[in-house]
Structure 1
Amino acid sequence: MSVARRRTLAVSTALLTVLGAAAPAVAATAPTLVQAPLAHHGGGLLHSTSGNWAGYAATGSRFTSVSASWVQPTVTCSGGNTWSSFWVGLDGDGSNSVEQTGTEADCSNGSPVYSSWYEMYPAYPVNFSNTVRPGDHFTASVTTNGSGSFTLTLSDTTAGWSHTVNKSLRSASLASAEVIAEAPSSSTGVLPLSDFHSVSFTGATANGQSLGGFSPDGITMASGGVTKATTSGLSGGNSFSVTWKHS
């Protein structure tokens, strides 16, 4: 399956927020980031391969909520520009919209840049201004009343801040729920994946029950014969890890 891509974010905006006066030199060359639906999705039932996603996606029901927690990973930067995102969302697996919120761990000219955001794709995303640090504990949820109204909440329980955003999107199909680590994309394709080592997701739920109750699809991120990130099995039906393998 090949569908539109997710999360259209000007990297320059995120870097200006985080780096202040140091950002313009980066902004001049940074691509426009997109966090979109699955760029490629293939393989058998309960296990598949994607060019830009790793994690779990549940389908086969009408989904009105998804939630999970994770610890913001530390990225290792080796001099280039790389990107990674960690999020929960509804839709995107087989649909052209994604309602999502999460965090970012990027490398800009060899320096780590961390941020957080929400997005109602295909609308442009919005970055939160709060500082994000590796090791911070995050909890995120996306819920809907099923009639086009969405509530997206992202909380940094370590730093003690939280954002709740109410948005509308009547075209949402509500056909999937995801907990994902992603290689963001630009208009030219999937971008190099940051070396985030490993990220652990816990307490993953959909429609108020463990994500594992929906027999979700475990997704490995791979492209051109190169495995970029692997996904562990579900523990207790609601916890798993994604491990970086290649940019």
Structure 2
Amino acid sequence: MSKARRRALVTATALLALLGSGSPAVPAVLPAALPVQSPIAAHHHGDAVLHGTSSNWAGYSATGGRFTSVSADWVQPAVSCAKSDAWSGFWIGLDGDGSKTVEQIGTEADCSSGSPVYSSWYEMYPAYPSTFQDTVRPGDHFTASVTTDGSGAFTLTLSDTTRGWSHVIDKSLKNAALASAEVIAEAPSSLFGVLPLADFDVVRFTDAKVNGQSLGAAKPSLIDMAKNGVTKATTSPLTDGTDFSVTWHHR
């Protein structure tokens, strides 16, 4: 069992690709496509953060305290797609590293049948995730935040300042641990394990803050993504305590 569970809904493309049969569905951001509203695939924090590596996370995770807010900006990267399917997600959130609850919001950049697919979403695990229907394109500038009053009330915000749309989601989760805060690029997982990581080249996070202060003030762990001796993505050091990048290396 993974250390923490995160976002579902990468659509039936993931499952069908791994099974090698059927005509894969595609996310609703493409014309005439039907979204899949069940958790076919999931994102996981597959390993404890040991020696700065994880099987499917790259970025920064702050633990060892009580966390009530996290925020960051990023520019949606473009993915380079080969014939095979691949997936990548970019998000900020509370919990998920050493706790069983998740309060996260972000964007996706996937490859389906050789074509790029871009989307956005939020999750309050253990509830199913929700996908926004707004257009997402490479180069869009996003701002995101997750905040809580510490008593079970959460506000999750995602804004595409390039296209002018925004979502403010108010939810309740009484048993939230508030044990971590993250700014992450991720390789999603299916029922069969971590999925191939889409080639997003570089994603740059800026103005990252935790509990109202710079991300660096929270003394977070730097995480590189690596599995079976293969480095999949690396994380840069923090600049000014708030800015960093994650660079893709391998599927």
Per the normalisation by structure 1, the TM-score is: 0.92
CA separation of 1:94/1:160 partners in 2, compared to 1, >3 Å: closer, same or farther? same
Residue 7 of structure 2 aligns with which residue? Answer: 7
Q: Give 1:32's match in structure 2, choosing from 21, 32, 40.
A: 40
Paired amino acid for 1:8: A
1:78 and 1:132 map into 2 onto residues whose CA distance is: 20
Q: Give 2:160's match in structure 1, choosing from 147, 156, 163.
A: 156
Q: Give 2:123's match in structure 1, choosing from 103, 119, 124.
A: 119
1:130 and 1:19 map into 2 onto residues whose CA distance is: 11
Residue 19 of structure 1 aligns with which residue? Answer: 30
Q: Give 2:171's match in structure 1, choosing from 167, 173, 182.
A: 167
Paired amino acid for 1:147: S
Deviation at 1:97, TM superposition (A): 1.6
CA separation of 1:4/1:92 partners in 2, compared to 1, >3 Å: closer, same or farther? closer
Query: Residues 140-193 of structure 1, C-alpha deviation per residue, up to 9 Å, x if partnerless?
Result: 000000011100000000001000000111111001100000001111111100
Residue 215 of structure 1 aligns with which residue? Answer: 219
Say if 2:135 is the partner of 1:131: yes
Check the 8 A contact 1:5/1:185 in 2, yes or no: no
Paired amino acid for 1:32: I
Per the normalisation by structure 2, the TM-score is: 0.90
CA separation of 1:197/1:16 partners in 2, compared to 1, >3 Å: closer, same or farther? closer
Query: Residues 20-70 of structure 1, C-alpha deviation per residue, up to 9 Å, x if partnerless?
Result: 32x46x97xxx922123x1112424xxx11011000001121100000000
The two structures, once aligned, show a CA RMSD in angstroms of 1.8
Say if 2:191 is the partner of 1:183: no
Paired amino acid for 2:47: H
1:125 and 1:118 map into 2 onto residues whose CA distance is: 6
CA separation of 1:237/1:76 partners in 2, compared to 1, >3 Å: closer, same or farther? same
1:170 and 1:232 map into 2 onto residues whose CA distance is: 35
Q: Can you give the 5+ residue segments of structure 2 that lack an aligned partner in the other structure?
A: 14-24
Paired amino acid for 2:199: D
Check the 8 A contact 1:41/1:51 in 2, yes or no: no
Check the 8 A contact 1:74/1:105 in 2, yes or no: yes
Query: Residues 186-233 of structure 1, C-alpha deviation per residue, up to 9 Å, x if partnerless?
Result: 111111000000000000000000010011000000111111100000
2:155 and 2:197 map into 1 onto residues whose CA distance is: 29
